[in-house]
Amino acid sequence: MKTTIEERWGTHPNDVKHYDTTQLRKEFLVEKLFAADEVLLTYTHNDRLIIGGILPVNEALKLETVDLIRSEYFCERREVGVVCIEGNGVVTVDGKDFPMTFKDALYVGRGAKEVVFKSNDKANPAKYYIASSPAHVAYPSAKITSEMRRVKDLGAAETCNKRILNQLILSEILPCCQLQMGMTEIQPGSAWNTMPPHTHSRRMEAYFYFKVPAEQAVCHFMGEPQETRHIFMGNEQAVISPSWSIHSAAGTSNYTFIWAMCGENLDYNDMDTFTADKLK
């Protein structure tokens, strides 16, 4: 078993105006999130969010602490959200098993000392995407059942943004500190997500794109509304979005993405929206 964590620094929007493609990708793109029998993590200084991928194939994988967060165990001061994006498995939190399959989500509260990830079939291993933020209160770990999940139909085929929003971890669904997560499924024939785009100065966000077909891509748009930039992304890659940046994308095919947010305001609708005609 191996745990690897990469560190990313915060950025000022005036600096990003001068980034070329290579620098933009270096600062904001997370190209690799999964490796067999490894835990791959990325720590961003934007609200100290950690995102990562866990792929147990031949052995169970424990979410271990890393020197970067200087804690006795990973969840000593943190909460974690887990979404199963492929296969079937089990996540065990301090001895309690939570069966996981595609779209299942799990909230792991602050204070959980042992979090272990397993696959039911190594020929079709479970893939777990995780996001973690600092937590000030210890709330109970809980699986988000299909009855708890909030599902909304958004957009329209006429505007190429018909999509299904699955709200998974929100304070309205279960007690949590500052972490919020959900999954958005772009429907066949549509391409755009989060259109019109927005910013929210009180929290940052990360987008993880998956179910992107081979030889297809997602073009993620970021930057200030009047000074946008773009990053082309492949399957199972993530992008870090600072609070000052929009976060929107269009794909050459339909795709799915998981959004994870953390910050001081838990109001999901706290955002400043910019219609497409106002972007530059």
The domain spans of the chain are 2-278
Whether the upstream peptide bond of residue 242 has omega within 30° of 0, thus cis, is: no
CATH class given for the domain over 2-278 = mainly beta
Identify the CA nearest to 213 among candidates 161, 254, 164. 254
Residue 158 has pLDDT above 80, yes or no: yes
pLDDT at residue 123 in the model: 96
DSSP type of residue 23: H
142-144 and 105-108: which strand pairing? antiparallel
Residues 81-85 have a mean pLDDT of 98
Q: pLDDT (tens digit, 9 = 90+) per residue, 8-36?
A: 999 999 999 999 999 999 999 999 999 99
pTM of the model as a whole: 0.96
The pLDDT assigned to 246 comes to 94
Q: Are 204 and 241 in contact (CB under 8 A)?
A: yes
pLDDT band, residue 147 (cuts 50/70/90): confident
**What are the beta bridge partners of residue 270?**
none
Stretch 132-147: mean pLDDT: 95
Residue 144 has pLDDT above 80, yes or no: yes
Share of the chain above pLDDT 90, in %: 89
Please give the average per-residue pLDDT across 87-110, as a whole number: 97
pLDDT at 70 over 90: yes
The residue assigned the tokens 């493609």 is: 21
pLDDT score for 15? 95
